[in-house]
Amino acid sequence: AQSVTQPDIHITVSEGASLELRCNYSYGATPYLFWYVQSPGQGLQLLLKYFSGDTLVQGIKGFEAEFKRSQSSFNLRKPSVHWSDAAEYFCAVGLGYSTLTFGKGTMLLVSP
């Protein structure tokens, strides 16, 4: 069965430091890949997505992600974290016909 793994339940990063959130998927073909962010009590906001083409994808709020087929990974990165980035981050994999499988999420804490 298809699965999405976010190995880190929570991560603490100092403000201004770089960030990398990991995401691995298990699926035979190249899926459609997404990263969403969710602030407490809020809905999901799409940060970026990969459908095809350049494997380094730029998103909103200074985030980027790189699709690595050989590692079945789609890690999210940001060079300098801001306190407002503290939130829950979900990686998701799109399969056939609009379906989405979500990872369990990574909670990002930003320390001063």
Partner 1 sequence: GAVVSQHPSRVICKSGTSVKIECRSLDFQATTMFWYRQFPKQSLMLMATSNEGSKATYEQGVEKDKFLINHASLTLSTLTVTSAHPEDSSFYICSAATSGGPYNEQFFGPGTRLTVL
Contact 101, 92 (CB under 8 A): yes
Maximum Cα interatomic distance, the chain, rounded to a whole number of Å:
43
**CA 6, CA 67: separation in Å to the nearest integer?**
15
Q: Read off φ and ψ for residue 104, nearest 5 degrees.
A: -80, -5
Size of the site for partner 1 (CB under 8 A): 21
**Position among 67, 90, 108, 110 found at the interface with partner 1 (CB under 8 A):** 90
Q: How far is the CB of 83 from partner 1 (least distance, A)?
A: 21
Q: How far is the CB of 105 from partner 1 (least distance, A)?
A: 5
CB-nearer residue toward partner 1: 49 or 77? 49
CB-nearer residue toward partner 1: 28 or 112? 28
Q: Taking CA 58 as the corner, what is the angle to CA 56 and CA 54, rounded to the nearest 5 degrees?
A: 30
- For partner 1, the binding residues in 27-86 under the rule CB under 8 A are 32, 36, 41-44, 46, 49, 51
**CA 39, CA 90: separation in Å to the nearest integer?**
11
- For partner 1, the binding residues in 14-33 under the rule CB under 8 A are 32
Q: Read off φ and ψ for residue 79, nearest 5 degrees.
A: -70, -30
Judged by the rule CB under 8 A, the positions of this chain that interact with partner 1 are 32, 36, 41-44, 46, 49, 51, 90, 94, 96-100, 102-105, 107
